[in-house]
Amino acid sequence: MAGGTVRAEHVKATRELIMTTAERLYAERGVHAVSNRQISEAAGQGNTAVVGYHFGTRADLVRAIARKHTEQLEQVATRLVAGIGDSTDLRDWVSCLVRPLPEYLDALGSPTWYARFCAQVMADPAFHEIIVDESITPPVQRQILDGVHRCLPDLPVEVRAERTAMTRHISLHMCAERERALALGTSTPRSGWHSAATGLVDAIVGLWRAPVTR
């Protein structure tokens, strides 16, 4: 029994190390520029087949990394939603949509790689849908988007879909830019993640309220 527990803990630790290493390398170089062998070597694993053994395909590894963070992001989003109750203020719902990622990155402490990892994956046609699925399918995300839409009942369905995508891309890529700057030690427009999130909320509220050309 004890031996089985030790092995299970070892497997868990190895999987976590592989995911952390792959996330960093994918964030810095791009998904297709990094081989499983490079991940194994960077993770200090003597067996170069260890990535495939634990995760299967590259897509499976990408999804596992995304899902690990999604669970934590859902908790932040759920807390934010609970804090606004039945608000009818668009800014409240946009805050719930935008703030989870910067708050989560702030809690992780610098350097982080997740925003840049997501940006790299989103830009890759082979893996784009993985990040979209992980960011939209959680029930709390649907609840937040429904809240945004209730504040703008006259907005056409196709415009809602378009602005939802805009929100996702702007939020992600601005977080990735800040994450990169922090990792490199260069200056950023805002002093902290909370302030950066406030700037994003300001801009994205304006995006949702922008007039629609008929």
Q: How far, in Å, CA of 201 to CA of 195, rounded?
A: 10
pLDDT recorded at residue 171: 96
- Which contiguous run of DSSP H or E holds residue 176? helix 157-184
pLDDT tens figures, 4-36: 787 788 889 999 999 999 999 999 999 989 999
pLDDT of residue 3 exceeding 70, the answer is no
pLDDT of residue 1 exceeding 70, the answer is no
Q: How many residues does the chain have?
A: 214
Q: Exposed, middle or buried by CB within 10 Å (0-12, 13-18, 19+), for 170?
A: middle
Confidence of residue 180 (pLDDT cuts 50, 70, 90): very high
Contact 104, 73 (CB under 8 A): yes
Tokens 């809602």, located at residue? 160
pLDDT tens figures, 70-101: 989 999 999 999 999 999 999 999 999 999 99
Confidence of residue 2 (pLDDT cuts 50, 70, 90): low
In one letter, which amino acid is 54? H
Per cent of the chain over pLDDT 70 is: 98
pLDDT, mean over the chain: 93
Q: Average pLDDT, stretch 192-200?
A: 97
Tell me the fold of 1-56. Arc Repressor Mutant, subunit A (1.10.10)
- Which contiguous run of DSSP H or E holds residue 198? helix 193-209
pLDDT tens figures, 131-141: 888 776 789 99
Q: Cα 42–117–107 angle (5° rounding)?
A: 95
Q: How many CB atoms lie within 10 A of CB 120?
A: 24
Q: Average pLDDT, stretch 134-155?
A: 91
Select from 113, 128, 198 the least CA-distant residue to 168.
128
Q: How far, in Å, CA of 214 to CA of 210, rounded?
A: 13
pTM (global) more than 0.75: yes
Token output for 31: 């998904």
In one letter, which amino acid is 171? S
Is the bond leading into 153 cis (omega within 30 degrees of zero)? no
